Amino acid sequence: MPSLRVLGHAFRAWRRNLRWSKHEPETPYLADLLSGAPTCLHVGASDGRHSYVMTRVAPKARIHAFEPSEFAYQVLRATIAWHRIGDRVTAIHAAVSDKPGEMLLVTPRKMSGRMGRAYAYVSETPPNGPARPDLEDQGATLQSTPVIALDDYCREHGIDKVDFIRMDIEGAELKALEGARAILDRDRPHVLVEIHPPMLATRFGGSAEAVVALFRDRGYRMFALAGDRLEERTAVVEGLPWKDYFFIHPSRAARLPDGVFKARMAA
């Protein structure tokens, strides 16, 4: 039986979904990417809000939602059950990286004393000093979590085509994408990824430039919101600790639903 705290967080997510509130600004654009019966990978699923949106804009979608936090995983499962979308959304308790194994989930404790669950990230070792370079904290809690690679997961579960990847994993995005190279090369899925330059550099030995290059080397085009306008970019916005970016491959442009991405890709 889930704890009262889990149920409370799940109820908040469920209510926000029904009211279509507190979603990130990129969320409405999912309808311009998904149609038919797409297979989607939701990496860093948290309470499942993006998974829910995918089932709304593409009712026949099949979503695999990965969440490393035991607490958030329980919230995710409750949210899925309350929305009655368990036949379309599979919750997986695991982090995603370039190879399978086990890592630590580092969850900072904010200066307010509350757990910074949205700032949690995976690490091979406990942090030495502040948990993150972009957050003041009072220490952190550590939790062991299983780790998978997306290429391995799809192969083991017979997933032969991926249409869309949503990824928000606090700096581990380059490692996770390196573990999905076969998917990217085979399927050219649409991708919405939150890129974290400080975390990439200080905690994962990577860079935002390397994330962008991984896509551009494969011919992808890159888009981001600038206010309420979608603009094409060749690099991340400088000076931001994190921001969401869309990556769309021209080979799939003709099959996009009518909308802003199809129009921009035709330009």
Instruction: Calculate what percentage of the chain has a pLDDT beyond 70.
Output: 100
* Residues 6+ positions from 228 with CB-CB distance below 8 Å: none
Distances (CA, A) of 117 to 3, 16, 18, 121, 261: 17, 18, 23, 9, 32
Please tell me the pTM assigned to this model. Answer: 0.96
Mean pLDDT, range 13-19, rounded to an integer = 91
> What is the reported pLDDT for 22?
82
Number of alpha carbons in the 13 Å side-chain half-sphere of residue 57 = 25
> Is residue 132 over pLDDT 90?
yes
Break the chain into its structural domains and give their ranges.
4-97+148-266
pLDDT tens for each residue of 60-108: 999 999 999 999 999 999 999 999 999 999 999 999 999 999 999 999 9
Could you tell me the pLDDT band of residue 113, with boundaries at 50, 70 and 90? confident
pLDDT tens for each residue of 201-259: 999 999 999 999 999 999 999 999 999 899 999 999 999 999 999 999 999 999 999 99
Taking alpha carbons only, the member of 67, 42, 75, 63 closest to residue 146 is 67
Domain 4-97+148-266 CATH (choose: 3.90.1150.10, 3.40.50.10540, 3.40.50.300, 3.40.50.150):
3.40.50.150
> What is the reported pLDDT for 20?
86
